[in-house]
Amino acid sequence: MPTVPTPLRTPEELEREADTFQMNLTRMSAQMTAEIRRGMDLLAQMRAAADRARQASSASLTPPAGLLN
């Protein structure tokens, strides 16, 4: 089955395609960076919550001062 030849593009068309591709990559990169930052913020919140839970758990296991005297 013969292939349909694609029309040749001018250098200007190729340059516009490259510019569009670069803009799309830049936009996607910015979106990914924002998502990573949000993920890191969420991770920090999760770690802080785990630390607070750990402190609350250990505080509840520690007898009040003077109770053992």
Q: What tokens appear for 8 in the block?
A: 């040749």
Binned at pLDDT 50, 70 and 90, residue 68 comes out as: low
Domain ranges for the chain, please list them.
28-55
Reference 58, options 67, 46, 50; nearest CA is 50
| Terminal CA-CA length for the chain | 95
Selected residue with higher pLDDT from 56 and 69? 56
Average pLDDT over residues 4-13: 84
* pLDDT of 69 over the 60 cut: no
pLDDT band at 7 (very low <50, low <70, confident <90, very high): confident
CA distances from 57 to 5, 46, 49, 61 (A): 72, 16, 12, 6
Beta-strand ranges (E) seen in the chain are none
Predicted local confidence at residue 63, as pLDDT:
66
> In the chain, pLDDT over 70 holds for what percent of residues?
81
